[in-house]
Amino acid sequence: MGRTAILTAAALALALPFATPLGAQQAGPPHAFLFGAWTGGLVPPPSTVTAQGCMAQPTVIFTRDVVMRATLTDILYVQRAIETARGTGDGIDIRLVPQPGAQAAPAGLGLAEGGSTGFGCPEADTLHVQRISNNEISFPGCRDFPFPLVRCPAG
Protein backbone atom coordinates (compact mmCIF):
# COMPACT_ATOMS: atom_id res chain seq x y z
CA MET A 1 0.00 0.00 0.00
CA GLY A 2 2.80 2.42 0.76
CA ARG A 3 4.42 1.78 -2.60
CA THR A 4 1.15 2.42 -4.49
CA ALA A 5 0.61 5.68 -2.64
CA ILE A 6 4.16 6.82 -3.41
CA LEU A 7 3.80 5.96 -7.12
CA THR A 8 0.44 7.75 -7.30
CA ALA A 9 1.85 10.84 -5.59
CA ALA A 10 4.87 10.84 -7.91
CA ALA A 11 2.65 10.54 -11.00
CA LEU A 12 0.47 13.43 -9.81
CA ALA A 13 3.50 15.58 -9.05
CA LEU A 14 4.83 15.00 -12.56
CA ALA A 15 1.45 15.67 -14.20
CA LEU A 16 0.48 18.84 -12.30
CA PRO A 17 2.71 21.26 -14.22
CA PHE A 18 1.00 20.16 -17.45
CA ALA A 19 -2.58 20.21 -16.15
CA THR A 20 -4.99 22.87 -17.38
CA PRO A 21 -7.56 24.17 -14.86
CA LEU A 22 -11.18 23.34 -15.64
CA GLY A 23 -12.75 26.01 -17.82
CA ALA A 24 -9.39 27.48 -18.82
CA GLN A 25 -8.56 27.72 -22.50
CA GLN A 26 -5.36 26.38 -23.96
CA ALA A 27 -2.72 29.01 -24.54
CA GLY A 28 -2.37 30.00 -28.17
CA PRO A 29 -2.47 32.99 -30.44
CA PRO A 30 -5.54 35.21 -30.04
CA HIS A 31 -6.56 34.57 -33.65
CA ALA A 32 -6.51 30.76 -33.35
CA PHE A 33 -10.29 30.58 -33.81
CA LEU A 34 -9.76 31.92 -37.36
CA PHE A 35 -7.39 29.17 -38.51
CA GLY A 36 -8.77 27.49 -41.62
CA ALA A 37 -10.67 28.36 -44.77
CA TRP A 38 -13.62 30.75 -45.10
CA THR A 39 -16.03 31.47 -47.97
CA GLY A 40 -18.22 34.47 -48.81
CA GLY A 41 -17.08 38.03 -48.22
CA LEU A 42 -16.72 39.04 -51.87
CA VAL A 43 -20.25 37.75 -52.51
CA PRO A 44 -22.94 36.66 -50.06
CA PRO A 45 -22.01 33.36 -48.39
CA PRO A 46 -23.96 30.33 -49.62
CA SER A 47 -26.86 29.16 -47.45
CA THR A 48 -25.53 25.60 -47.50
CA VAL A 49 -21.85 24.80 -47.75
CA THR A 50 -20.23 21.43 -48.39
CA ALA A 51 -16.65 20.82 -47.34
CA GLN A 52 -15.66 19.84 -50.88
CA GLY A 53 -17.31 22.86 -52.50
CA CYS A 54 -15.91 25.29 -49.96
CA MET A 55 -12.37 23.91 -49.99
CA ALA A 56 -12.34 23.96 -53.80
CA GLN A 57 -12.11 27.75 -53.71
CA PRO A 58 -12.16 29.43 -50.30
CA THR A 59 -12.19 33.22 -50.21
CA VAL A 60 -9.88 33.69 -47.20
CA ILE A 61 -7.46 31.32 -45.48
CA PHE A 62 -6.00 32.08 -42.04
CA THR A 63 -2.91 30.40 -40.59
CA ARG A 64 -0.80 31.32 -37.56
CA ASP A 65 1.49 33.59 -39.61
CA VAL A 66 -0.31 34.35 -42.89
CA VAL A 67 -3.66 35.53 -44.27
CA MET A 68 -4.41 34.59 -47.88
CA ARG A 69 -7.26 36.11 -49.85
CA ALA A 70 -8.83 35.58 -53.24
CA THR A 71 -9.40 38.50 -55.60
CA LEU A 72 -11.84 38.95 -58.46
CA THR A 73 -9.08 39.69 -60.98
CA ASP A 74 -6.44 37.01 -60.36
CA ILE A 75 -6.38 33.23 -59.95
CA LEU A 76 -3.57 33.48 -57.38
CA TYR A 77 -4.19 34.18 -53.72
CA VAL A 78 -2.74 37.37 -52.24
CA GLN A 79 -0.65 36.43 -49.22
CA ARG A 80 -0.06 38.82 -46.30
CA ALA A 81 2.16 38.04 -43.33
CA ILE A 82 0.72 38.69 -39.87
CA GLU A 83 2.80 41.03 -37.72
CA THR A 84 0.57 40.97 -34.60
CA ALA A 85 -2.89 39.82 -33.58
CA ARG A 86 -4.77 41.35 -30.66
CA GLY A 87 -8.09 40.26 -29.22
CA THR A 88 -10.87 42.84 -28.97
CA GLY A 89 -14.29 42.65 -27.36
CA ASP A 90 -15.94 41.37 -30.52
CA GLY A 91 -13.10 39.84 -32.55
CA ILE A 92 -9.47 40.34 -33.50
CA ASP A 93 -7.35 43.20 -34.81
CA ILE A 94 -4.64 41.87 -37.11
CA ARG A 95 -1.68 44.05 -38.02
CA LEU A 96 -0.21 42.92 -41.34
CA VAL A 97 3.45 43.30 -42.26
CA PRO A 98 3.66 46.45 -44.43
CA GLN A 99 4.37 45.89 -48.12
CA PRO A 100 6.41 48.82 -49.40
CA GLY A 101 5.72 49.73 -53.01
CA ALA A 102 2.66 47.47 -53.26
CA GLN A 103 0.64 47.94 -56.43
CA ALA A 104 -2.99 48.97 -56.11
CA ALA A 105 -5.67 47.29 -58.19
CA PRO A 106 -6.62 49.14 -61.38
CA ALA A 107 -9.66 51.37 -60.96
CA GLY A 108 -13.01 50.23 -62.29
CA LEU A 109 -12.61 46.50 -61.64
CA GLY A 110 -14.89 46.37 -58.62
CA LEU A 111 -12.07 46.48 -56.11
CA ALA A 112 -11.34 49.19 -53.61
CA GLU A 113 -8.14 51.19 -53.84
CA GLY A 114 -5.29 48.93 -52.80
CA GLY A 115 -7.53 45.88 -53.16
CA SER A 116 -4.85 43.70 -54.73
CA THR A 117 -2.70 43.73 -51.59
CA GLY A 118 -5.07 44.61 -48.75
CA PHE A 119 -8.69 43.99 -47.94
CA GLY A 120 -10.06 47.38 -48.96
CA CYS A 121 -10.00 48.49 -45.32
CA PRO A 122 -9.43 52.07 -44.16
CA GLU A 123 -5.88 51.09 -43.15
CA ALA A 124 -4.18 48.84 -45.71
CA ASP A 125 -2.07 47.03 -43.11
CA THR A 126 -4.78 46.50 -40.48
CA LEU A 127 -7.60 43.96 -40.64
CA HIS A 128 -10.35 44.06 -38.02
CA VAL A 129 -12.16 40.73 -37.86
CA GLN A 130 -15.58 40.84 -36.20
CA ARG A 131 -16.65 37.49 -34.76
CA ILE A 132 -20.36 37.06 -35.43
CA SER A 133 -20.45 33.41 -34.28
CA ASN A 134 -18.05 30.47 -34.13
CA ASN A 135 -18.56 29.92 -37.85
CA GLU A 136 -19.24 33.43 -39.16
CA ILE A 137 -17.04 36.53 -39.31
CA SER A 138 -16.97 39.85 -41.12
CA PHE A 139 -14.43 42.53 -41.99
CA PRO A 140 -16.29 45.75 -41.03
CA GLY A 141 -15.38 48.79 -43.08
CA CYS A 142 -13.47 46.76 -45.70
CA ARG A 143 -14.96 47.58 -49.09
CA ASP A 144 -13.55 44.48 -50.80
CA PHE A 145 -15.47 42.27 -48.35
CA PRO A 146 -18.97 43.75 -47.95
CA PHE A 147 -20.53 40.40 -46.97
CA PRO A 148 -19.93 38.05 -44.02
CA LEU A 149 -17.72 34.98 -44.36
CA VAL A 150 -18.59 31.48 -43.15
CA ARG A 151 -16.15 28.78 -42.09
CA CYS A 152 -15.63 25.89 -44.49
CA PRO A 153 -16.93 22.74 -42.79
CA ALA A 154 -14.57 19.88 -42.01
CA GLY A 155 -14.62 17.09 -44.57
* pLDDT at residue 143, rounded to an integer: 94
Average pLDDT over residues 56-73: 94
Closest CA to 80 of 95, 59, 92: 95
Asked if residue 42 lies in contact with residue 145, where contact means CB atoms within 8 angstroms, the answer is: yes
54 Cβ contact list (under 8 Å, min separation 6): 37, 39, 152, 153
Instruction: Provide the residue ranges of all domains of the chain, joining segments of one domain with +.
Output: 27-99+110-151
Neighbours of 88 (CB within 10 A): 12
Asked if residue 101 lies in contact with residue 107, where contact means CB atoms within 8 angstroms, the answer is: no
Three-state helix/strand/coil letters over 81-114? EEEEEEECCCEEEEEECCCCCCCCCCCCCCCCCC
Whole-Å CA distances, 79 to 94, 110, 122? 14, 20, 19
* pLDDT at residue 101, rounded to an integer: 65
b/e sequence 18-29, b meaning 16+ C-beta within 10 Å? eeeeeeeeeeee
* pLDDT at residue 26, rounded to an integer: 55
pLDDT in tens, 87-144: 999 999 999 999 876 554 444 444 444 445 789 999 999 999 999 999 999 999 999 9
State which fold the 27-99+110-151 domain adopts: Lipocalin (2.40.128)
Report the C-alpha gap between 150 and 8 in whole angstroms: 47
Percent of the chain with pLDDT over 90: 60
Return the minimum-mean-pLDDT range out of 35-39, 73-77, 144-148.
Answer: 73-77
* pLDDT at residue 37, rounded to an integer: 97
